[in-house]
Chain A
Amino acid sequence: MLKLHGVRKAFGNFEAVRSVDLEIQDGEFFSILGPSGCGKTTLLRLLGGFEQPTSGEIILNDHRIDSLPPHLRQCNTVFQRYALFPHLSVQQNVAFGLQMKKTPQDEIATRVNAALDLVQMLGLATRSVTTLSGGQQQRVALARALVNRPKVLLLDEPLSALDLKLRQQMKMELLSLQRRLKQTFIFVTHDQEEALEVSDRIAVMNEGIVEQVGTPQEIYEYPKTLFVARFIGSMNTIVGDVREARADAITMSGCGKRSLTIKPSRDGMRPLPEVSVGLKVQLMVRPEKLKVLKSAPDANQNYVEGTIKEVLYKGSQTQFLVTAKDAATPAQLHVWQTNSAVTAKRSFCIDDKVFVAWSPEDCILMGMNGALPQNQPQMPLLQSTGT
């Protein structure tokens, strides 16, 4: 298990990482996700041993490693642009680490072959790495790190140098490799889709702080901070005032005279926050939770009347841009509707007057400047979030 306690890293006056606490389980595919400059790469470099933390502790299997040099850490890094040695062959690149550790020659040969076999590069073992394609270089970089049998494999945006198609393929290979090896992967990325797809858990970072740690589903469906809500996926936001705060529902203004209702999610993972009447809040709801209807929905649904301004037909899905009628709501709502057999027949055109509806359980309520305090303890989550 890898633990970080209050890890902080400052470069002069700039704090790249500010007090990070994390617990990463053995065999976990753990992603560190955030926009560029959020400190995720610095955090990875602290784990890899290329930077020393200004304060805090990094503990791997009960041993403090934060002041150890990289090679004494049982962590190996796959660098962003792979950093393969261009003067060496594929084989020599992979053997480098073992040679540095003075491993016996015959053991080097077997381990290098096994590592190259693992990434399906055995056939190109004698090639110069400069002649390889991006995906092949990526595989060599993986083999070069894995051959040392690290406890933790650190991957610094390993897919960012690849083109889209190759990225998809390498992502799946990376995932299957991790599943087979049951090896701890710490994966740094700015690509949220990538992180959601492959990770067991994700730490979302912003401005040197870990905003939230959780499974991809938790991060997407139950964002705990305003940043996470906005950074992950798309979000519609409606600003209004709290009209009524009951134990089972909150109502707020936001679309003319009618109220919008917010209820806890059905699984209890997102309880209602603590609010007082009159507080200015923002209701957030994901585009795919919204439905475009020709007539007003049931009374228990939230809805906004509006006019379709844009229709993007994407095959599996149609995306609508709807301008709300009531001035109090934000001007535009994004609606992503799956084109099922039923909805595909119903066609909507630009300038149609429609109702945009969603259920009260799908709402996320946030304050104007951040998350609202919770008025009841969190239900136990599927997996410990480590914070």
Chain B
Amino acid sequence: MGWILWFILIPLVIVGFYSFMTKGSYGGIRYQFTFENYERAFDWLYLRIFWESFQLASITAISCLVLGYPMAYVLATARPAIRSLLLVLLIVPFWTNFVVRTYALKVLFAESGPINALGMTFGIFAEPISLSNSYFMVWLGMVTNYLPYMVLPLYVSIEKFDFTLLEAGRDLGASAWNNFWKVLVPLTKPGIITGSILVFTPALGEFLIPDILGGAKTMLMGNLITEQFLKSRDWPFGSALSVLLMAIVMAGLCIVIRYWTEDEKDERAKA
């Protein structure tokens, strides 16, 4: 608990405190109370940046869910030996530094990179396709980076799932489609929710991937905040943005958790 106090709570209080202060002329902090930082944050310009961050995080979470669900299913249903191998393959990327991994993607898809070279050699495309600094690269970077956070909770959920329920479904005439949507998905909902939160929340504040793979063309919440602290040296405004971002994420989480536990409460109330 002491650890949480010193390294999370106290810094947060400091950030919260700074967000109500005034920017000093030379990048310092003037201890003068003001709401101005928050007022500025609701400028149309910044709202649009937030909206784009929200969009990217949502797309990332949905993509990870769509790609991760089949992966988790295969993992959960594979024979033990193969399952361990697949789990290791899923975790291996974490052994490399995140920045290095992201740069590796950039190199891989660069105009003179291996993908283009292979494509040219085999005549799949006539001239090198330019993917660097594109939204696709940002998406690819986000998905490859966050996919394991989705797959692992899903895997845990599917692994606990009783597969005779699918047989019961088949016995009662459920098609594969109905069995999936009416039996498997509702019963793996905890994994879906946990995975989505684990991907969405950090994706909302992500700034390195869009920077490296998107060529810093698109400004996102993460970049904006980093910039306030490192470039503009406007700590109070950066703090206000951070507080707002956290507040929005927290509010979102609360809604999800409330909705989720209410489902369970309903079930208990029925009992």
Contact = CB atoms under 8 A, between A and B. Distances in A.
Interface string B244-271: 0000000000000000000000010011
Given A87-B186, A87-B187, A97 B167 contact: no
Given A79-B167, A83-B165, A144 B172 contact: yes
A85 B168 contact: yes
A85 B162 CA distance: 10
14 contacts: A49-B171, A70-B171, A71-B170, A77-B171, A79-B164, A81-B164, A85-B187, A86-B187, A87-B186, A87-B187, A89-B270, A96-B174, A131-B270, A148-B172
Interface of B: 162, 164-165, 167-175, 178, 182-183, 186-187, 267, 270-271
Interface in A100-139: 100-101, 126-128, 130-131
B162 A83 contact: yes
A131 B271 contact: yes
A48 B170 CA distance: 10
Contact of A128 (B164, B175, B182, B267): B267
A76 interface: yes
Contacts of B170: 49-50, 69-71
Contacts of B162: 81, 83
B162 to A, nearest CB: 7
Nearest to B187: A87
A148 B174 CA distance: 13
A128 B164 CA distance: 19
Given A79-B164, A79-B167, A83-B167, A97 B271 contact: no
B270 A100 contact: no
A97 B178 CA distance: 11
A357 B170 CA distance: 57
B172 A100 contact: yes
Contacts of B183: 85
Contacts of B271: 127-128, 131
B167 A96 contact: no
Contact of A79 (B168, B175, B178, B186): B168
B176 to A, nearest CB: 10
Interface residues of A, number: 29
Contacts of B169: 85, 96, 100
Contacts of A127: 270-271
Interface of A: 48-50, 69-71, 76-77, 79-81, 83-87, 89, 96-97, 100-101, 126-128, 130-131, 144-145, 148
A145 B171 CA distance: 9
Contact of A97 (B173, B187, B270): B173
A49 B175 CA distance: 14
Given A71-B171, A85-B168, A127-B270, 15 more contacts: A49-B170, A49-B171, A69-B170, A70-B167, A71-B173, A76-B171, A76-B172, A77-B171, A85-B183, A85-B187, A86-B187, A97-B173, A100-B173, A145-B171, A148-B172
B72 to A, nearest CB: 19
A83 B183 CA distance: 11
Contacts of A70: 167, 170-171
A172 to B, nearest CB: 25
B87 to A, nearest CB: 26
Contact of B173 (A50, A79, A83, A101): A101
Contact of A71 (B164, B172, B187, B270): B172
A145 B174 CA distance: 13
Given A130-B267, A131-B271, A83 B174 contact: no
Nearest to B164: A83
Contacts of B186: 87
B174 A100 contact: yes
Contacts of A128: 267, 270-271
A97 B172 contact: yes
Nearest to B183: A85
A101 B173 CA distance: 7
A100 B168 CA distance: 12
A361 B237 CA distance: 103
A80 to B, nearest CB: 8
A77 B168 CA distance: 8
Contacts of B175: 100
A291 B267 CA distance: 60
A48 B171 contact: yes
Nearest to B185: A87
Contacts of B164: 79-81, 83
Contacts of B174: 71, 96, 100
A57 to B, nearest CB: 21
A384 to B, nearest CB: 30
Nearest to A154: B171
Nearest to B179: A100
A50 B164 CA distance: 10
Given A83-B162, A83-B165, A89-B270, A100 B171 contact: no
Contacts of B187: 85-87
A48 to B, nearest CB: 6
Nearest to B271: A131
Contacts of A80: 164
**Interface core residue of A80, A87, A97, A145 (most chain B CB under 10 Å):** A87
A131 B267 CA distance: 9
Nearest to A87: B186
Contacts of B270: 89, 126-128, 131
Given A96-B174, A126-B270, A85 B165 contact: yes
Contacts of A48: 171
A50 B170 CA distance: 9
Contacts of A89: 270
A101 to B, nearest CB: 5
A372 B175 CA distance: 52
Nearest to A156: B164
A50 B167 CA distance: 7
Contacts of A77: 167-168, 171
Nearest to B269: A128
Contacts of A97: 171-173
